[in-house]
Amino acid sequence: MTHKIIRRYLPDAALLRSHPRLRLFSRWLQPAYLWHLNRRSVPGAVAVGLFWGFIPSPTQMLPAAATAVALRVNLPLSLALTWIANPLTMPPMFYFNYRVGTWLLDRPERAFSIELSWDWLTRELGILWQPLLLGSFVVASCAAALGYCGTRTLWRLHVGRAGRRNWPRLMRSSADHPRV
């Protein structure tokens, strides 16, 4: 049932393969496992999408797509989950990543103010990049692991509940048709 809801919002594989801008990549978009929603591909896609969503990069979707293809997990879901980092969530996410990095490196936090200029970016990023990248990698790894385990658990609970719900119906049908 849940995979039917998710499938409703995912793009059609054939439509994407034939898109003029994606024809260059159509060879890598051919395998059916990139589009299936099953107990292996969905948790893997959640892990891939969350991992790359927490890594500060302007092109998070490209490495997420390459990782999804390499790990043979659902491509559209992994790309969609990279958007956990959007213009509204990026500042608190990356500030938290920076704080985790300063804690891991045992460095004091620097007070800084943000200016939208190239000079500020090059000056401050030269100082902040180590704690930010280390914290981002640690937080991304934890988010991916939690997302993977949580999705696997929810999938198993859903399948188990559906099985218990169908058990009386299955028992009736087997009683109506005894084995010879």
Instruction: Give the DSSP letter string of 135-146.
Output: HHHHHHHHHHHH
- Only one residue has tokens 């988010």, namely 143
* Range with the poorest average pLDDT among 52-61, 106-115, 164-173: 164-173
Distance CA 86, CA 63 (A): 16
What's the confidence (pLDDT) of residue 108?
85
What's the confidence (pLDDT) of residue 17?
54
H-only helix segments in the chain: 2-9, 13-17, 26-29, 41-53, 61-71, 75-81, 90-105, 118-176
Task: Read off the tokens for 115.
Answer: 């200016």
The three-state DSSP-derived secondary structure of 102-122 is: HHHHCCCCCCCCCCCCHHHHH
Torsion of CA 149, 152, 156, 161, to 10 degrees: 90
Q: Report the 10 Å Cβ neighbour count for 150.
A: 13
Q: What is the pLDDT of residues 11-24, one digit of tens each?
A: 555 555 555 555 55
pTM for this predicted structure = 0.73
CA distances from 122 to 64, 65, 100, 114 (A): 26, 29, 22, 12
